[in-house]
Amino acid sequence: MDEFVPLAHFYRFLRYWWIAVLTTLLGGLFGLIFSYLHNPVYEAQARITANVDLTKVTKFPVERQDEDLALFNVQVAILDPQTINNVIQAASLQNIVLDSNKLLKNLTIEKKLAFWDLHYRDDNPVVAQKIANLWIEEAYKTILVMKDSGKIPSYVTLQGVTPANTPQTPIYYQFTWLILAGGIIGLVSGILIIEAMGKRL
């Protein structure tokens, strides 16, 4: 087994430095091409605020598990088939063509204490905002219907909806980051090529 000599590797790198530079430039170029071939993805966030009002509890004790299950109905309302159908119909009135598969594929639901955040992604920031707001509005209507029908306990209170703003920065395929990532990959590849050449020589 050959002994690792750092100085020898350093001199080898200095001798073939142009390979690392070339692969770095090629990697950056690939990242640039990739950024042009893939549209950036934007994410809009809308929010429903729901909590438990203990003053409205009629039967004690209320276990934490019961509270969680009651609040989980917010997510149930967001994913309710009727809610999704209403979103698709409302979007079609704004000339946005959608189906349930595309909606669910681009959706993320995040719970933070009393907040339920609906994240919707699209390559058009305006469309992302519109769908997020349509969806949160339809989900809120569904929650009210569920409360009226008794499916959601009366002690679950709704503080309203926070609409999404138009996202300004993409979350995927950012131009500069793709070039930087391609350059780093190219640099590492160049170093590996130089190492492989040294072993072969």
Q: Which helix (H) or strand (E) holds 115?
A: strand 115-122
Level-2 CATH architecture, domain 42-162: 2-Layer Sandwich (3.30)
**pLDDT higher than threshold 50 for residue 166:** yes
> pTM of the prediction?
0.65
Which of 10-14, 61-65, 147-151, 156-160 has the least mean pLDDT? 61-65
Do the Cβ atoms of 48 and 139 come closer than 8 Å?
Answer: yes
Tokens 């000599």: give the residue. 5
* Three-state helix/strand/coil letters over 89-112: HHHHCCCCCCCHHHHHHCEEEEEE
- Considering the chain, what is the average pLDDT of its residues? 81
β-strand partners of 108: 119
What is the C-alpha separation between 31 and 171, in angstroms, rounded? Answer: 16
Q: Which pLDDT band, with edges at 50, 70 and 90, does 67 fall under?
A: low
Q: Mean pLDDT, to the nearest integer, of 21-40?
A: 76
What is the C-alpha separation between 7 and 199, in angstroms, rounded? Answer: 15
**pLDDT higher than threshold 70 for residue 58:** no
Q: Mean pLDDT, to the nearest integer, of 181-200?
A: 78
Which of 128-132, 134-138, 145-149, 183-187 has the least mean pLDDT? 183-187
Q: Please list, in sequence order, all residues whose beta carbon lies within 8 angstroms of the beta carbon of residue 27, skipping any fewer than 6 positions away.
A: 182, 183, 184, 185, 186, 187, 189
Tokens 């969806």: give the residue. 135
Domain ranges of the chain: 6-38+173-200, 42-162
Share of the chain above pLDDT 90, in %: 30
Q: Which pLDDT band, with edges at 50, 70 and 90, does 114 fall under?
A: confident
**pLDDT higher than threshold 80 for residue 23:** yes
Q: Mean pLDDT, to the nearest integer, of 68-83?
A: 82
How many Cα atoms sit within 13 Å of 62 on the Cβ side?
18
152 versus 81: the higher-pLDDT residue is 81
What is the C-alpha separation between 106 and 76, in angstroms, rounded? Answer: 17
Q: Mean pLDDT, to the nearest integer, of 147-161?
A: 82
Q: Mean pLDDT, to the nearest integer, of 112-120?
A: 88
Report which of 181, 192, 193 is spatially closest to residue 28, judged by C-alpha positions. Answer: 181
Which of 35-39, 102-106, 110-114, 124-128 has the least mean pLDDT? 35-39
* Burial status of residue 75 (CB atoms within 10 A of its CB: 0-12, 13-18, 19 or more): middle
Residue 1: the pLDDT is: 46
